Chains A and B, each alone.
Chain A
Amino acid sequence: QVQLVQSGAEVKRPGASVKVSCTASGYTFTNYDINWVRQATGQGLEWMGWMNPNSGNRGYAQKFQGRVTITRNTSVSTAYMELSSLTSEDTAVYYCARGSFVDATMAPDYWGQGTLVTVSS
């Protein structure tokens, strides 16, 4: 069965960086895009960026340009999202999701369990 398993919760100081991993299983990792989405407590969903694990092509939400980097290691079917210059506003649950919002035949269907990132001094 398709699974996306994310790394564990993180606590970071303001100004630091965090790197969250998302390991895929149950399907061919390079056949589907990976999206990153975050959700602050009690708030809505916020799209951060995407990557095509096959080509390496990627795109980021304008809000996070220059601060977010999405990478992958195809040998271990894992995608990574690194966010730098953290502030308290970045405290949220971060999700990875397999699929594409552009291609309806590959809709973002499976999601990771979420990783809580807490930014606190």
Chain B
Amino acid sequence: QSVLTQPPSASGTPGQRVTISCSGSSSNIGSNYVYWYQQLPGTAPKLLIYGNNQRPSGVPDRFSGSKSGTSASLAISGLRSEDEADYFCATWDDSLSGQGVFGTGTKVTVL
């Protein structure tokens, strides 16, 4: 089971702002960088946010990330139909000799 907790679902109408939370602990989010991925059905995950709040080139500025303490958030502003996908947070966990960990995933639906 994942050590990072996300809400299973989120939704909004086109143009709205949607926020997804990712809750962890001091050994993971609290002391390491957070990454966010978007996954469309049948495809590999796509990196949306790295280093807590940085966007790779090509990712629209509608996507933004933040981190505070042992939690992180991904915000999608100006929601569009093509944003309907699964979203996962990820980070490193310093416990258990160090390992990568992913969030439980959030399905975003555009109403």
Decide: A104 and B98 in contact? CB cutoff 8 A: no
The answer, yes or no, to whether B60 is at the interface (CB within 8 Å) is: no
Given contacts A47-B99, A102-B92, A104-B51, contact A114 B32 (CB under 8 A): no
Given contacts A102-B32, A102-B92, A104-B51, contact A61 B44 (CB under 8 A): no
Given contacts A101-B92, A102-B32, A112-B44, contact A107 B99 (CB under 8 A): no
Interface size class of B (residues with CB under 8 A): 20 to 34
Q: In whole angstroms, how far apart are the Cα atoms of A109 and B54 in the complex?
A: 12
Contacts of B102 in A (CB 8 A): 37, 44-47
Interface size class of A (residues with CB under 8 A): 20 to 34
What are some 23 contacts across the A-B interface (CB < 8 A)? A35-B100, A44-B2, A44-B88, A44-B102, A45-B39, A45-B88, A47-B101, A61-B96, A61-B99, A62-B97, A62-B99, A95-B45, A101-B33, A101-B35, A101-B100, A102-B98, A104-B33, A104-B52, A107-B33, A107-B47, A107-B51, A109-B50, A113-B44
